[in-house]
């Protein structure tokens, strides 16, 4: 080697070390110096330096030390280089941070430890990592059977490959979803047959849809002792045409016969059923699997049932005949079916302009591709049938005309169609502030993007839901806080406080000269233990001090709101309870947790971390006899990943925390509760003092 080469090599080492930040000042240290790497891994302010230092460490003891003593990012990165299973097990079981535990878990081979983690870890991500890393089928079977976590049970079952073990899970699980999933995973039909032939009725019924043995399916389908639903499931998988034909012709229930008809291939038998069967439902079902136009014309001409004749018209393609039916058929339903099959625009226009039945005109208008503006305006403002007006409105663009329709039309659906066509920001702001109907203002707010306009609505509107919707659309905390600061004793102050996330604004609201409700709400949303301790020790108001102590004891408590109480209040309406009885309410709330870490981007240390909680609310309302009146699920909006690293969000245990609240639509629930009531009952409810029942009843009276 030349003298020049010898002098260049050390120089390169020094320069590289300085660039990486390994060397303090100009002092030189060998890149291979493990102590220097350890020091930099623990102390460098730069993420890239720490990462490079850890990657350069080779000593097991140093890596283990980092995995136990560094911050979460250092611990996680150190774990990626550790091979010692005892150290990995310790970290996977005991580290306080889920991301570190997950990384350690992914590198474990100890099946006992993996099983323990899958069964006990509080983090879903860590549990699922443990299950996916497990190889021992005995442990997978145990988890599939007895884990207290549904996601673990499902994932464990999916990883079992032995049919015998899957069958054991199916037989012994107490969870119907696991039993059904297990049956679907069985590869050996012998096991499915065994379940179908077994004494466990639930397993018998669950297994039938997965059966491919045609002889056994035939046996189940023909067995009159079987439950009708089970027989129908067997028929739905049956291919034997003779059996299907026999069941279609002579089955002992309409549902079974219709299921058989849907599997039949014998056109002659289908035609016979369509023309001669006594049951209109069977005739209709048979027509749906036929295409012969003379048959359709024959059924239309001769059948005594309007529903069967309508189905025949739905299957027609003969345009002259369809035009004749649309023009001359006395039954409104059949004319609608004919119009829906027409193609000629001039024929459709003639029907639209001349037919006396609103549903027929509506069907014709929907099929028309082009309609003169004058005709649309006349229909939108003068047609007696609301659906025609709605369809015409949906094609208009004149903003002033649409505003007039929104203000004057008696039909809710027409008004909403007009609102959807209004795009002028000034008009939308005016509607949101001045319309007399709270529902219109609420729906308008959802179309406004100007946060200043939204703040104006939130600050002035007297309706809780309109204010809530307006606040929910505002992202800028600087726009929300003045509503808290300047509201005085108005309800909007407390309501706006519940939308604060900025720690500075929350502290100001908690400690400033605000109504007690605002201060208590602000304290309940704070997460900084130092600030909370200060309030608990020194605030002049005892209620605020106690609220701060409560928050310190449970800093991760989720916001609850009062939606359940408002729903209960609606269900206790005297008119509604007289009509429905004392209804049963099932109200379930869950928070779906998502955690994020920004490992890339700028050389910032430590990396940003975010945690999102998405609220899910499931509501079921039933009559005293068990009839379900309403079944709804509401979920908060999922935010983009970048949103969770916002410095304006509160910090909790190293994470920026964001709560995505579910918006429960009480008006939609009211609609569900009232939808099958008689008109006289709706008229009574239209006078209810509960705004949701009152509004829903008016909507149903004027759809």
CB of 243 closer than 8 Å to CB of 218: yes
pLDDT score for 30: 43
Confidence bin at 13 (pLDDT 50/70/90): very low
Which sequence spans correspond to the domains of the chain? Answer: 1-81, 200-441, 503-553, 563-701
Mean pLDDT of 177-192: 95
Structure tokens of 438?
A: 């709270």
Read off the pLDDT of residues 583-595 as tens digits, 9 standing for 90 and up. 999 999 998 888 7
State the burial class of residue 410 (Cβ atoms within 10 Å of its Cβ: 0-12, 13-18, 19+): exposed
Indicate the helix (H) or strand (E) that contains 62: helix 60-69
Is residue 403 predicted with pLDDT exceeding 70?
Answer: yes
Confidence bin at 597 (pLDDT 50/70/90): confident
Task: Report which DSSP code applies to 629.
Answer: E
- Of 636, 688, 683, 684, the residue nearest 667 (C-alpha): 688
CB of 244 closer than 8 Å to CB of 264: yes
Confidence bin at 29 (pLDDT 50/70/90): very low
pTM of the model: 0.79
Is residue 600 predicted with pLDDT exceeding 90?
Answer: no
State the Cα–Cα distance between residues 649 and 479, nearest whole angstrom.
15
- Of 346, 303, 297, the residue nearest 325 (C-alpha): 297
Structure tokens of 653?
A: 């245990």
Is residue 90 predicted with pLDDT exceeding 80?
Answer: yes
Mean pLDDT of 235-243: 94
Read off the pLDDT of residues 250-284 as tens digits, 9 standing for 90 and up. 999 999 999 999 999 999 999 999 999 999 999 99
pLDDT score for 331: 97
Which of 16-20, 552-556, 557-561, 583-587 is modeled with the greatest confidence?
583-587
Lowest mean pLDDT among 13-22, 27-36, 547-556, 690-699: 13-22
Q: Which residues pair with 612 in a beta bridge?
A: 594, 658
CB of 111 closer than 8 Å to CB of 139: yes
pLDDT score for 47: 65
Handedness of CA 258, 262, 266, 267 (dihedral sign): positive
State the burial class of residue 190 (Cβ atoms within 10 Å of its Cβ: 0-12, 13-18, 19+): exposed
pLDDT score for 477: 94
At the topology level of CATH, where does 200-441 sit? 1.25.10
pLDDT score for 649: 83
Reduce the secondary structure of 545-579 to three states and give it as a string: HHHHHHHHHCCCCCCCCCHHHHHHHHHCCHHHHHH
pLDDT score for 27: 35
Question: What is the DSSP track for 441-507?
Answer: HHHHHTT---HHHHHHHHHH---HHHHHHHHHH---HHHHHHHHHS-TTSHHHHHHHTT---HHHHH
Read off the pLDDT of residues 475-491 as tens digits, 9 standing for 90 and up. 999 999 999 998 877 89
pLDDT score for 17: 43
Of residues 39 and 503, the one with the higher pLDDT is 503
Structure tokens of 575?
A: 């008119």
Vertex 431 angle, CA 425 and 434, to 5°: 135
CB of 76 closer than 8 Å to CB of 47: no
State the Cα–Cα distance between residues 441 and 432, nearest whole angstrom.
4
State the Cα–Cα distance between residues 452 and 403, nearest whole angstrom.
22
Question: What is the DSSP track for 117-183?
Answer: HHHH-S-HHHHHHHHHH---HHHHHHHHHH-S-HHHHHHHHHH---HHHHHHHHHH-S-HHHHHHHH
The number of angstroms, rounded, from the C-alpha of 219 to the middle of its chain's C-alpha atoms is 41
pLDDT score for 28: 38
Mean pLDDT of 285-304: 96
Structure tokens of 147?
A: 């884990």
Is residue 220 predicted with pLDDT exceeding 60?
Answer: yes
Read off the pLDDT of residues 129-168 as tens digits, 9 standing for 90 and up. 999 999 999 999 999 999 999 999 999 999 999 999 999 9
The number of angstroms, rounded, from the C-alpha of 702 to the middle of its chain's C-alpha atoms is 30
pLDDT score for 6: 34
Confidence bin at 676 (pLDDT 50/70/90): very high
For a pLDDT cut of 70, what percent of the chain falls above it?
93
Q: Which residues pair with 597 in a beta bridge?
A: 609
Of residues 362 and 60, the one with the higher pLDDT is 362
Phi, psi of 259 (to 5 degrees): -60, -40
State the Cα–Cα distance between residues 629 and 583, nearest whole angstrom.
9
DSSP-based three-state secondary structure for 541: coil
Structure tokens of 410?
A: 């008696």
Confidence bin at 604 (pLDDT 50/70/90): low
Mean pLDDT of 197-203: 91
pLDDT score for 142: 97
Of residues 24 and 52, the one with the higher pLDDT is 52
pLDDT score for 639: 67
Lowest mean pLDDT among 24-28, 358-362, 365-369, 629-633: 24-28
Mean pLDDT of 54-77: 79
CB of 621 closer than 8 Å to CB of 584: yes
Handedness of CA 670, 671, 676, 681 (dihedral sign): positive
Count the neighbouring beta carbons within 10 Å of the beta carbon of residue 538.
10
308-327 burial by CB neighbour count: b if 16+ within 10 A, else e? bbbbbbbbbeeeebbbebbe
* Runs of H (alpha helix) within 21-46: 34-43
pLDDT score for 42: 74
């Amino acid at each position: 080697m030349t003298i020049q080469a010898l002098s260049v090599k050390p120089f390169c080492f020094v320069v590289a070390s300085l660039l990486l930040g390994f060397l303090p000042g100009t002092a030189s240290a060998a890149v291979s110096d493990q102590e220097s790497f350890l020091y930099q891994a623990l102390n460098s302010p730069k993420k890239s330096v720490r990462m490079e230092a850890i990657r350069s460490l080779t000593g097991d003891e140093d890596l283990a030390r980092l995995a136990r003593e560094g911050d979460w990012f250092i611990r996680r990165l150190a774990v990626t280089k550790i091979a010692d299973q005892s150290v990995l097990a310790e970290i996977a079981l005991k580290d306080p941070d889920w991301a570190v535990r997950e990384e350690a878990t992914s590198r474990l081979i100890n099946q006992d430890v993996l099983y323990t983690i899958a069964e006990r870890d509080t983090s879903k991500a860590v549990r699922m990592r443990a299950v996916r890393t497990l190889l021992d089928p005995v442990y997978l079977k145990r988890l599939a059977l007895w884990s207290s976590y549904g996601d673990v049970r499902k994932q464990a079952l999916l990883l079992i490959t032995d049919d015998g073990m899957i069958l054991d899970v199916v037989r012994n699980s107490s969870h119907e979803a696991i039993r059904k999933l297990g049956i679907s995973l069985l590869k050996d039909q012998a096991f499915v047959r065994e379940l179908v032939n077994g004494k466990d009725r639930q397993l018998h019924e669950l297994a039938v849809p997965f059966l491919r043995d045609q002889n056994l399916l035939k046996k189940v389908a023909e067995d009159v002792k079987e439950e009708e639903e089970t027989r129908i499931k067997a028929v739905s998988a049956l291919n034997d045409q003779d059996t299907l034909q026999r069941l279609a012709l002579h089955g002992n229930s309409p549902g079974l016969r219709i299921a058989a008809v849907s599997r039949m291939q014998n056109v002659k038998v289908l035609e016979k059923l369509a023309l001669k069967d006594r049951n209109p439902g069977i005739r209709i079902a048979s027509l749906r699997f036929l295409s012969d136009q003379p048959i359709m014309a024959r059924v239309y001409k001769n059948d005594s049932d309007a529903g069967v004749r309508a189905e025949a018209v739905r299957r027609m393609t003969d345009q002259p005949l369809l035009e004749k039916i649309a023009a001359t058929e006395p039954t409104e339903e059949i004319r609608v079916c004919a119009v829906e099959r027409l193609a000629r625009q001039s024929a459709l226009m003639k029907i639209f302009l001349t037919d006396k039945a609103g549903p027929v005109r509506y069907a014709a208008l929907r099929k028309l591709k082009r309609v003169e503006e004058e005709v649309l305006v006349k229909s939108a403002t003068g047609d007696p049938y609301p659906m025609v007006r709605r369809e015409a409105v949906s094609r208009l663009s004149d903003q002033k005309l649409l505003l007039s329709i929104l203000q004057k039309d008696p039909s809710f659906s027409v008004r909403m169609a007009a609102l959807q066509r209004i795009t002028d920001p000034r008009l939308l702001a005016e509607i949101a502030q001045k319309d007399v109907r709270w529902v219109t203002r609420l729906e308008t707010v959802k179309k406004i993007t100007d946060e200043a306009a939204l703040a104006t609505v939130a600050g002035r509107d007297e309706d809780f839901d309109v204010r809530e919707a307006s606040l929910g659309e505002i992202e800028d905390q600087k726009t929300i806080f003045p509503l808290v600061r300047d509201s005085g004793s108005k309800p909007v102050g407390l309501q706006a406080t519940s939308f604060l996330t900025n720690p500075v604004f929350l502290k100001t609201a908690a400690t400033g000269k605000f109504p007690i409700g605002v201060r208590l709400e602000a304290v309940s949303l704070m997460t900084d233990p130092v600030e909370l301790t200060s309030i608990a020790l020194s605030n002049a108001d005892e209620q605020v001090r106690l609220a701060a102590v409560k928050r310190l004891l449970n800093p991760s408590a989720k916001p609850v709101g009062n939606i359940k109480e408002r729903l209960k209040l609606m269900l206790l309406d005297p008119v509604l309870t007289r009509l429905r009885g004392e209804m049963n309410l099932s109200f379930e709330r869950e928070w779906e947790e998502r955690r994020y870490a920004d490992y890339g981007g700028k050389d910032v240390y430590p990396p940003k971390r975010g945690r999102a909680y998405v609220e899910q609310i499931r509501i079921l309302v039933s009559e005293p006899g068990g009839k379900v009146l309403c079944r709804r699920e509401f979920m908060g909006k999922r935010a983009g990943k970048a949103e969770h690293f916002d410095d304006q969000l509160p910090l909790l245990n190293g994470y920026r925390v964001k709560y995505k609240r579910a918006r429960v639509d009480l008006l939609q629930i009211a609609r569900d509760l009232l939808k099958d009531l008689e008109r006289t009952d709706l008229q009574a409810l239209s006078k209810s003092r509960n705004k949701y029942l009152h509004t829903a009843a008016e909507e149903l009276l004027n759809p």
